[in-house]
Amino acid sequence: MQQAIGSVFPVSTDLRSTESPSAISFYRREFFKAMCGVAASGTIFGAGLRPAGLSGNRSQKLILVTFGGGARDSETFAPEGQRNIPRLLAELIPQGTFFTQVVNRGILGHYVATASIATGVYESFNNFVAAAPDNPTVFEYYRRSSGRNDAWVIAPSNGFQRIGISAHKGYGPDFGATVIQPKQILSSVLGNGKTVSAIDYEHLLQDSYDTPVYQSRLTQQESDFNLHLLASILKLSMENFIAHARTLNSADELSVFITRQLMRNLAPSLLLLTLHDIDVAHAGAYSLYLDGIQRADRLCALIWNSIQSDPEYSGRTTLLILPDFGRDADGDSGGNGFQHHRTGGPLARTTWLLALGPGIRENLTVDRPIEPIDVVPTIGALMGFDTPLTRGRTISELL
Amino acid sequence: MIPRELTVRSFERYPPQGRAFASSYLSVLQRLPIAVLVSFLDQIIGWDWRFPAERNQLEAELGVIKNLSTNEFEQLTQPFAKIALPTELTHLDWINAPPEFLERFTAYLWSSHQIDGYRAAARLLLEQVSAQIPPANKRRQPLVVVTCTKDLVAADYPLFLKLRKYGLYAMNIQASNGDEWISELLSRRSAEEKSPYAHWFLDGGITSAFISAKSNVVYLSYEQAEPVRSAVLNVMASAVRSGWGPEVLRLRLTQLRPSDCNAEAITEDPILQHFIVSLLADGSGTQIYTTSFVQWSAREILRRAQPDTLIVRITPRVRQRSLNDFVSGRRGPAEPDFRGSLIDGDLAAYYTWLELRKLPGAEQSVFLAWFPGPRQALLIAPDAPKNVDTPNSLSLNQLLALGHLDT
């Protein structure tokens, strides 16, 4: 599933003993100290008052964004990395509650880790197989409880197509989320006889950076579904879609374009967006990895601003942003630093979570460790539905 | 088959020197749990193509383990013995196909959430064994120079940020004849120490004739590795056509031999042939860009060959292309990314230094990163200033003199 360990004696013992999760969160705490002039270790400061009565409000909307795939502290919150996330630092974090230690104890593959975030259980299926999660997803809990049909996922194409619906007997297709794969929509349009050169769009179709992927041709049914999404849900003509796509620089920009279009036209109450450009790190080119982080930073701000400017979302939407996991440490003998996430070391397991929105305290940093599987029960508590099979715990600071 | 049933005949399919080595350490191998034993076998089966430094290290490690007290041995190997292996793993031919076992074993460790425990056990074993290996004989002061072509520039990118606190950051280097300076430096060092694999020139660009002509210097370039890269991409193309998953693909890549890749066209030395194949087919991925190839290769040269001298030259890579694009052989944009390549090179310098630090004798080593486009350099050496910036105009000779290099 992951890269073979190879030898237990690959090199020396330099495994950076300081890389405990708490040591990793140090930079994030220090950032807040510098910014706010107060000690932040487990401390609530500058807390804006939350409006009463929002907890469990069914009119509330929630957008969950994974800052994927795999960004390390050294390129984000560490002093030398802060230049890559100016929008997060200057605009978003001051408006929200920031958790400095999100420890992922599961499998560090993008699909299985994102599925674990969506189910609140560390899933154990093969990351490289497009499998339905074993446990009910947050979308299924939400839809079964609310009776509504407005849970959506915007995801990359490398296996994520089944993330919206679990294989659990008590839930399943009747309650799942609709998964949009923007690259598949683009492929469908490009394959629909349009007189455009696919080469002009290849940078938007990149998906897997670790190994080349076998991509079967879309079936007629899949292609028809994608074109239906485009016309009926996203309200875009093929011509306009193609024209706009040509102005975009990456697959994540395409995903955010689709996300905003979906928000404008359907205003779903529960939405998961998976960013993935950062995973270009697997190609081994550090600059491309930094570009991916800088782009994700910009796109997160764009989503937040879209929420604020859309009457359907403004004032009643919680935005949660977290990486699916990190990447290997520079000095870890079992890997090649930023390039992969194969060692399971602390730097690869420890990330962060940012929450924004009505009822979320501003300028609050929380240093106690939480886990990505805590997100589902917290969403349930925020939106007023039960998540009985999750293994996570509600994040009290957000309720 | 369980480890204690191993006999000399168990290794009859190993290459001759590896077979002899396994036989001489049979009593140790018989005692190790499979969960750690196969990692040793993975090294032993390739013994015939290992660099001398690697052989010395493996022999030293097994020598230490052989002499551990019963208590020490139990304490260090018990965590591995506790890992219950599923029968589909134990039924694999782990003696003759260690990579296949390790691939599946790793997947099993992840899916059963035992990877962290395994990692901790491996780390403890490594630390304990390494601590008992006697120090090597005093070796020559290692020298590593990381440089790049002049066209790599990025005005807004702060170079050597991760390294500055360890050395002298020189912001105004005057060097009009840098290539010659490096060539002379390499000549001097290679003339004085003639051990095999002691001096390397790793080049991201095309072969530099003046370097390749030198004796006692191993020259390795991105261009030179093209036959192997093509073979790797062909295997990937098969994967794309056949729908293999990444695990099967990785296994197929580890099974590539020099003869499958026309590596004989690169060098007659079988050790180097295997090394080049491993750089591209094994380890950390395919390293398809020139910058990533150089970054990874520098680490591997230091880790495996433990040279006295390593010169690393970064050259521009092409702009971003997808792996599928490379695999398909389609002509992609060949436009170079100078800015991105400089940033890649900066990280490569840092990773090279990290690896240098792990070598025996590293405390005496001299590390110089010099990027001629921005005219900046960084020197890390025992006697050089630390965490100091200088705007003064310096030549490369003046800068290196601060490191008190033997040569």
Q: How many angstroms away from the CA of B397 is the closest CA of chain A?
A: 30
pLDDT band at A156 (very low <50, low <70, confident <90, very high): confident
Q: Does residue A235 belong to the interface with chain B, where contact is any CB pair within 8 Å?
A: no
pLDDT, mean of residues A243-264: 94
Interface pTM, i.e. ipTM: 0.91
CB B51 within 8 A of CB B24: no
Residue B82: how many other CB atoms lie within 10 Å = 12
Show the domain range for A97.
21-398
Q: How far is CA A378 from CA A275, A318, A355, B315, in A?
A: 21, 11, 11, 49
pLDDT, mean of residues A309-324: 97
Note which residues in 261-320 of chain B have CB less than 8 A from chain A: 282-285, 287-289, 291-293, 295-296, 299, 303, 317, 320
Which secondary structure element, helix H or strand E, spans residue A203, and what is its range? Answer: none
Structure tokens at A264: 């404008």
pLDDT band at A14 (very low <50, low <70, confident <90, very high): very low
pLDDT, mean of residues B117-136: 91
Q: How far is CA A50 from CA A38, A166, A362, in A?
A: 21, 34, 9
Q: Are the beta carbons of A336 and B296 separated by less than 8 Å?
A: yes
- Report the number of secondary-structure helices (H) and strands (E) in chain A: 12, 8
What pLDDT, on the 0 to 100 scale, is given for residue A36? 42
Instruction: Identify from A134, A250, A287, A290 which residue to disrupt to test chain B contact, counting B C-beta atoms within 10 A and taking the largest count.
Output: A287
Domain B143-401, what architecture? 3-Layer(aba) Sandwich (3.40)
Q: Is the dihedral of CA A227, A229, A232, A237 positive or negative?
A: negative
Evaluate whether residue A3 is within a structural domain.
Answer: no
How many alpha carbons fall within 13 Å on the CB side of residue B123? 17
Of the candidates A270, A269, A287, the one whose C-alpha atom is nearest the C-alpha of residue A278 is A287
Find, in chain A, the residue whose alpha carbon is nearest to that of B128.
Answer: A13
* A31: pLDDT strictly greater than 60: no
Evaluate whether residue A143 is within a structural domain.
Answer: yes
Average pLDDT, chain A: 85
Q: Are the beta carbons of A5 and B239 separated by less than 8 Å?
A: no
- Cβ neighbours of residue B146 under 8 Å, at least 6 residues apart? B298, B312, B314, B345, B348, B349, B352, B367, B368, B369, B370
Chain B hits for A106, Cβ within 8 Å: 113
What pLDDT, on the 0 to 100 scale, is given for residue A59? 83
Note which residues in 347-406 of chain B have CB less than 8 A from chain A: 347-348, 350-351, 354-355, 357-358
Residue pairs spanning A and B at CB distance below 8 A: 188
- C-alpha dihedral, B183 to B189 to B194 to B197, nearest 10°: -70
pLDDT, mean of residues B12-20: 97
Q: Are the beta carbons of A1 and B111 separated by less than 8 Å?
A: yes
pLDDT band at B176 (very low <50, low <70, confident <90, very high): confident
Q: Does residue B24 belong to the interface with chain A, where contact is any CB pair within 8 Å?
A: no
pLDDT, mean of residues A114-142: 93
* A12: pLDDT strictly greater than 50: no
Structural domain boundaries of chain B? 3-132, 143-401
Evaluate whether residue A169 is within a structural domain.
Answer: yes
Find, in chain A, the residue whose alpha carbon is nearest to that of B286.
Answer: A283
Find, in chain A, the residue whose alpha carbon is nearest to that of B296.
Answer: A336
Evaluate whether residue A66 is within a structural domain.
Answer: yes
Q: Does residue A200 belong to the interface with chain B, where contact is any CB pair within 8 Å?
A: no
pLDDT, mean of residues B13-40: 97
Q: Are the beta carbons of A330 and B236 separated by less than 8 Å?
A: no
Q: Are the beta carbons of A9 and B296 separated by less than 8 Å?
A: no
Q: How many angstroms away from the CA of B297 is the closest CA of chain A?
A: 11
What pLDDT, on the 0 to 100 scale, is given for residue A38? 35
Which range in A69-78, A199-208, B50-59, B223-232 is most confidently predicted, on average pLDDT? B50-59
Find, in chain B, the residue whose alpha carbon is nearest to that of A9.
Answer: B126
Rounded (5°) CA angle B267-B254-B15: 65
Could you list the beta-strand ranges (E) of B227-349. Answer: 309-314, 317-318, 336-337
Of all residues in chain B, the percent with pLDDT exceeding 90 is: 75
Q: Are the beta carbons of A13 and B126 separated by less than 8 Å?
A: yes
Q: How far apart are CA A129 and CA A282, in angstroms?
A: 19
Q: How far apart are CA A271 and CA A259, in angstroms?
A: 9
pLDDT, mean of residues B141-163: 95
pLDDT digits (tens, 9 = 90+) for B222-280: 999 999 999 988 888 888 777 777 778 888 888 899 999 999 999 999 999 999 999 99
CATH of the domain at A128: 3.40.720.10
Chain B hits for A202, Cβ within 8 Å: 322, 325
- Cβ neighbours of residue A347 under 8 Å, at least 6 residues apart? A16, A19, A24, A72, A73, A74, A326, A327, A328, A329, A332
Chain B hits for A128, Cβ within 8 Å: 245-247
Q: How many angstroms away from the CA of A296 is the closest CA of chain B?
A: 17
pLDDT digits (tens, 9 = 90+) for A169-182: 999 999 999 999 99
How large is the C-alpha radius of gyration of chain B?
23
Q: How many angstroms away from the CA of A150 is the closest CA of chain B?
A: 33
Q: Are the beta carbons of A15 and B350 separated by less than 8 Å?
A: no
What pLDDT, on the 0 to 100 scale, is given for residue B287? 83
Of the ranges B16-25, B133-142, B337-346, which one carries the lowest mean pLDDT score?
B133-142
What pLDDT, on the 0 to 100 scale, is given for residue A10? 34
DSSP A309-330: H-TTTTTSEEEEEE-S-----T
CB B386 within 8 A of CB B402: no
Evaluate whether residue A4 is within a structural domain.
Answer: no
pLDDT, mean of residues B95-105: 93
Of A6, A212, A216, the CB nearest to B42: A6
In the sheet with B199-203, reading across from the earlier edge strand, the strands are B218-221, B199-203, B309-314, B143-148, B366-371, B376-380, B168-174, B388-395
Q: Which residue has the tokens 């694009």?
A: B325
Evaluate whether residue A199 is within a structural domain.
Answer: yes
Query: What SS3 state is found at A371?
Result: coil
What pLDDT, on the 0 to 100 scale, is given for residue B236? 84
What pLDDT, on the 0 to 100 scale, is given for residue B407? 58
